[in-house]
Homo-oligomer: A and B are copies of this chain.
């Protein structure tokens, strides 16, 4: 009796699919965006902070840009399966005096197919000369990242 009960439990355990909610989305690794950019999240601290690098796509027309360092953090890293994250890049076009900063705010999801996917919105700001010109300083958009395997 005991052995058959054990076998039953084992069978159930083996057969039980891992619920999507139990899968975790991990930010570390290499990602590519739907707009042709690539990103590497290289380190991930215990406090949820991370750093990495960002490579804008050839589509940007800013071919003079190589790789940008990024700094960010996750919320409740290690505690929740699908953490919210944010990161920042400060940059400057080589042919321009203009400083720009981009911030991404997204969530790291486990999709219905079990694959990790990042959905993010971003704001990009260009330095202006005075508060009067500030109204035209900021762009907005979205990016979806999938893991490079």
Contacts and interface: CB of A to CB of B under 8 A. Distances in A.
A117 interface: yes
Given A80-B99, A111-B131, A123 B105 contact: yes
Nearest to A142: B142
Nearest to A133: B59
A45 interface: no
A76 B82 CA distance: 33
Contacts of A137: 107, 119
How many copies of the shown chain assemble into the complex? 4
Contact of A99 (B73, B76, B105, B140): B76
Contact of A103 (B20, B103, B107, B129): B103
B109 A131 contact: yes
Given A71-B73, A130-B112, A103 B105 contact: yes
